[in-house]
């Protein structure tokens, strides 16, 4: 089962976080939330397998904090 660990404010930010998590060996999916009128400016959920959620959240916290 996939779990949302973060909702990025834009697709570009979500893709940057997706890349960083993938480099750490975490499987990542992105899912757009809301209106598709401005595709790059919609909120985007970052999802990972439930078994990797805690580790992914810790990695993401470090990325966001730096």
The number of distinct structural domains making up the chain is: 1
| Residue 8 · residue 43 · CB < 8 Å | yes
Non-local (6+) Cβ contacts of 18 within 8 A are 28, 30, 46
Which residues does the chain have with pLDDT short of 50? none
Question: Which domain does 28 fall in, by range?
Answer: 2-65
The pLDDT, as a whole number, for residue 41 is: 75
Query: What rounded mean pLDDT belongs to the chain?
Result: 92
Locate 17 and state its tokens: 């976080």
- Predicted TM-score (pTM) of the model is 0.87
The CATH number assigned to the domain holding 23 equals 3.30.70.260
């Amino acid at each position: 089962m996939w779990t949302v660990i973060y909702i990025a404010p834009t697709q570009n930010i979500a893709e940057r976080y997706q890349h960083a998590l993938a480099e750490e060996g975490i499987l990542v999916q992105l899912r757009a939330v809301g209106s598709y009128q401005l595709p790059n400016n919609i909120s985007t959920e970052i999802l990972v397998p439930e078994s990797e959620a805690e580790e992914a959240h810790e990695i993401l916290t470090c990325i966001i904090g730096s």
